[in-house]
Amino acid sequence: IFPKDLNLKDKFIKHFTGPVTFSAECSKHFHRLYHNTRDCSLPAYYKRCARLLKRLAASPLCSQT
């Protein structure tokens, strides 16, 4: 079992997504995706996680003002 390095995870996600912000309405979905999915918990899937986070940020749910 490998220890989780959250700084490494954050660095990978930021590298692939760039600066992505989430509104208050969308933060619940972000936390659920970021902390509870396989794509965002295994280093082999960080690129897929970044793609999911970018799609979430661009979704109508998160782009509402």
- Full-model pTM: 0.74
Q: Can you tell me the mean pLDDT for 35-40?
A: 88
pLDDT on residue 48: 92
pLDDT at 34 over 50: yes
CB atoms within 10 A of CB 45: 15
Residues 6+ apart with CB under 8 A from 30: 22, 53, 56
DSSP tag of 45: G
pLDDT at 3 over 80: no
Q: How far is CA 32 from the centre of its chain?
A: 9
- Answer whether 43's CB lies under 8 Å from 12's CB: yes
pLDDT at 61 over 70: yes
